[in-house]
A and B are shown apart, each in its own frame.
Chain A
Amino acid sequence: MDILNLKGTEDTPTILLDKKNGIFEISGRSLPEDSAEFYRPVLEWIKAYGAESNANTDFTFKLEYFNTASSKLILDVLSALEDIKGMKILWYFHDDDEDMEEAGQEFSELVEIPFEFKTY
């Protein structure tokens, strides 16, 4: 299936979803004006991937910052990932960023997917 590759900007994250090479990553900053519009292709890609997913998927979130409108869409992304077998979330946070660590913990309480927490 096609690779989804969005280059990050000052208000949108870098997104790379590549089934063949097993790379699934959202990183950087997320504060777009219209978060629903921005994340629509991501949700569509995940939906298509769900029908032909790899045996195991490590999905990486390595966010420096996201606004509240993005947090709702990140939950939508996680909810879409929830139905895919072999899914694991790698949640990265900067080692002194307690708020990002806590945000990951809260998401992990809202969906039924194993989370692994990592610092960078």
Chain B
Amino acid sequence: MNYIYELHRAMMAQKVILVYEGDFTQETTKSILSMAERNLDSSGEDSSIKRKVFNVMVEALQNIVRHSSEQGMRAGSLLSKSAIFLISRDDKQYSVMTGNPIQKDKVAQLTKNLDDLNSKDKEGLKEMYKEIIKNTQISEKGGAGLGFVDMARKSGEKLEFVFAPMDADHDFFCLKVNISREKE
């Protein structure tokens, strides 16, 4: 039973506001958003920062929903559907973090896309956004291919990511998006 206390201490140390682990759907997305929003409201956070955090949360959550539905159909194992979402707050910033399994053969392309995003400045990201929105079609899963670009634009910071090895076919994709609490 000690892990309860350990988990609690780890969350306090990392200043985690909210964590969700499990199956991700539009319904869970709405519940998570409403809990996180209530927390932001009660903390009296500045409204423009609240909006940015909300924005990043939606894209991060919907990314997992779309990705895990794809994974679930493919593998059917519990492992392949389970993901994690957390949000933390310290004096300087909010961090929206996600983790979900992805197939190893997708890692190289995803790394390239994220590195490409991180190499761009504000103007470069804006051009990229306009280019994609003009040419994209909504995928079967409902995505527009704009989620990461939007997270980078709204946060104004580089997207941090690592891939942790899981098994022969999967890595665990960890993403961290920071949103500064200091007003520009």
| Residues A65 and B55 in contact, CB atoms below 8 Å apart | yes
Chain A residues contacting B65 (CB-CB under 8 Å) are 33
A-B contact count (CB 8 A): 64
A68-B146, A71-B146 given; A36·B55 CB < 8 A: no
Chain A residues contacting B92 (CB-CB under 8 Å) are none
Number of B residues with CB within 8 Å of any CB on chain A: 28
Contact count band on A: 20 to 34
List the B residue with the shortest CB-CB distance to A36. B138
Can you list, as one digit per residue, whether each of A79-120 has a CB less than 8 Å from chain B (1) or not (0)?
000000000000000101111000000100110000000000
| Residues B58 and A96 in contact, CB atoms below 8 Å apart | no
A43 → B minimal CB distance (Å): 12
B31 → A minimal CB distance (Å): 10
Q: How far is the CA of A75 from the CA of B133 in the complex (A)?
A: 8
The secondary-structure label for the interface of chain A is helix
Q: How far is the CA of A71 from the CA of B154 in the complex (A)?
A: 14
Can you name 16 A-B pairs with beta carbons within 8 Å? A10-B30, A10-B34, A35-B138, A67-B59, A68-B59, A68-B146, A68-B150, A69-B143, A69-B146, A72-B146, A73-B138, A94-B47, A96-B48, A97-B48, A97-B51, A99-B154
- List the 6 closest pairs (A to B, CB-CB), nearest first: A68-B146, A33-B26, A72-B144, A36-B138, A69-B144, A68-B150
10 new A-B contacts, CB < 8 A, other than A99-B51, A99-B52, A110-B134, are A11-B30, A68-B143, A68-B149, A69-B142, A71-B144, A94-B47, A96-B48, A97-B48, A99-B55, A106-B126
B residues in contact (CB < 8 Å) with A: 26, 30, 34, 47-48, 51-52, 54-55, 58-59, 62, 65, 126, 129-130, 133-134, 136, 138, 142-144, 146-147, 149-150, 154
